[in-house]
Structure 1
């Protein structure tokens, strides 16, 4: 698995290790308090073989091996939103590590939205699947690092950003890498207007803040994944929001781009897993779990 480290900048600054999941283009993170060796896992992927609808945790085990080899203690298992492009490993990690798992509180509204899409009125109980549902402005700690939660809707209606320590923010599917732009906003509950406002709030963080994005798919001129850039770099160089792009310009650009995109190949499987904290649908009387996929809905 490709990984890259971002060093701590001293007291109050996290060391960040990024792990790249090539099949989904996902960036998974380990945020470490160097003083205490306490850490949090953020947006870790559950492997999924789409043609065979087979799930596994080989990639997550690699990350746990790194945690063990570096003598780290996981205090939190964090997700930024119910992902559409990969299955989350949250519940499996909680079982392995005994640490609490968390996501934003608006997952309750997202669950209600997808109950209607799947026509499963009794499905999904996020309050029983996550130990903490964060509200905007909530705070917590990773070792000696102070952390706070920002509500960052647009990609989904309930996406959140984790600001960790004095100079790191995990901004998920808002921004892409600084040479690419922004993330899509056309999923159910998404909004290009909300995404622009969320990005502006993120870009109001101090210029030296390291922003860690949720995905990278490389580019025609860059064949190695990248996921870290500062607020200052995004404000200057990001082609979607840099250089003073107006909200009207951003919405026009974002909606035009989104109109050309297909659904992620895992999306209709992923939501019914991620709204269960990463658990498969309940096994039926034959002992197997089954996905419910809406036909002709999208």
Structure 2
């Protein structure tokens, strides 16, 4: 019998200089998601990347245990959260961005902005039309994102320099965040070498663009740590634990889709397409997209405050008798 894949204890790498961050990686087993808390060691300013909101599809219940763990960790370290960073609109988990922002606004001098790449607006419009989401629920000031980064835009987390790196392919809006020059938080673009790369079959996805994004990552300094958004160790692989990062060098030497001497661009596009055609849709797809285009906020209640908040779920296989 295959041994279960077990998450390690929360992974922490402490800063080795004033220009490198403290990094806390927290794994969410139900969604196989890595969440990150990144802090400037000098000022204790910090950012949260891709936080998870707990959702039980059986009971349709949303809870905040995972997000509260992030808050507790930040409080224990006396960090002040300056940014909540999303790499893209996720299809496999609900974002806790809006919940965290609301909680932090009560405990900090200022409310941290929810941030993403500027192309996220085209993804929001697409899924808003698909799920009939009113514009005021996914656009500021009531919904959506507070700050949209341009490609290669720099910003600061305390004294740390951070760069918004456009890594399209999985989605057209996808960003990675290069923080402190030595750590790339790659979201769902590259996974670990034994997995390869992310799927490209969502609207706006492109295997050609993902190939180019992969080459951009592999062109970074070899010792750069690439922190993944998820980990799904292959059942036939040798790993028994999920891990949050590997280096660019390890990707160059062993990434099954992108390593040096591996598949050509044309072969990658063919292999990626064949693989994607065999994948099912993510378990939380429809709920996740409707919450995430809103920046983690819920739909307006039906019938006023106190009413039910409803999300749309498509039905397949029926027919009309009209």
The TM-score range, normalised by the shorter chain, is over 0.9
Residue 188 of structure 1: CA displacement? 1.4
- The normalised TM-score by structure 2 is 0.88
Q: CA separation in 2, counterparts of 1:203 and 1:172? A: 15
- In structure 2, the gaps of 5 or more residues are 1-6, 105-110, 318-322
Residue 234 of structure 1: CA displacement? 0.5
**Which of 70, 78, 91 is the equivalent residue of 1:71?**
78
**Which of 207, 213, 233 is the equivalent residue of 1:218?**
233
- For the 8 Å contact 2:87–2:174, the answer to whether it is kept is yes
Q: CA separation in 2, counterparts of 1:132 and 1:120? A: 21
**Which of 184, 195, 209 is the equivalent residue of 2:199?**
184
Q: CA separation in 2, counterparts of 1:236 and 1:123? A: 47
The answer to which of 129-138 and 139-148 deviates more is 129-138
Residue 275 of structure 1: CA displacement? 0.5
Q: CA separation in 2, counterparts of 1:207 and 1:126? A: 39
Matched, 1:228 2:241: no
What whole-Å deviation, never above 9, does each CA across 1:154-173 have from its counterpart, x for those lacking one? 11110111111120111000
The answer to which of 13-22 and 286-295 deviates more is 286-295
- For the 8 Å contact 1:50–1:266, the answer to whether it is kept is yes
Matched, 1:30 2:7: no
Residue 38 of structure 1: CA displacement? 1.4
Instruction: Say which SS state the counterpart of residue 23 (structure 1) adopts.
Output: helix
Q: CA RMSD in A?
A: 1.7
Q: CA separation in 2, counterparts of 1:161 and 1:126? A: 23
Matched, 1:243 2:248: no
How many residue pairs are counted as aligned between the two chains?
A: 297
What whole-Å deviation, never above 9, does each CA across 1:20-40 have from its counterpart, x for those lacking one? 000000000011111222110
- For the 8 Å contact 2:195–2:232, the answer to whether it is kept is no
Instruction: Say which SS state the counterpart of residue 297 (structure 2) adopts.
Output: coil
Matched, 1:277 2:295: yes
Matched, 1:136 2:151: yes
1:30–1:176 CA distance, 2 compared to 1 (3 A) = same
- For the 8 Å contact 2:101–2:113, the answer to whether it is kept is yes
1:202–1:112 CA distance, 2 compared to 1 (3 A) = same
- For the 8 Å contact 1:174–1:182, the answer to whether it is kept is yes
**Which of 124, 129, 138 is the equivalent residue of 1:116?**
129
Q: CA separation in 2, counterparts of 1:262 and 1:124? A: 29
- For the 8 Å contact 1:76–1:100, the answer to whether it is kept is yes
Residue 122 of structure 1: CA displacement? 4.2
- For the 8 Å contact 2:128–2:290, the answer to whether it is kept is no
Residue 8 of structure 1: CA displacement? 2.5
Matched, 1:57 2:64: yes
Matched, 1:80 2:87: yes
Q: How does 1:158-177 map to 2 (within 5 A)?
A: 158-177=173-192
Q: CA separation in 2, counterparts of 1:144 and 1:179? A: 35
1:205–1:126 CA distance, 2 compared to 1 (3 A) = farther
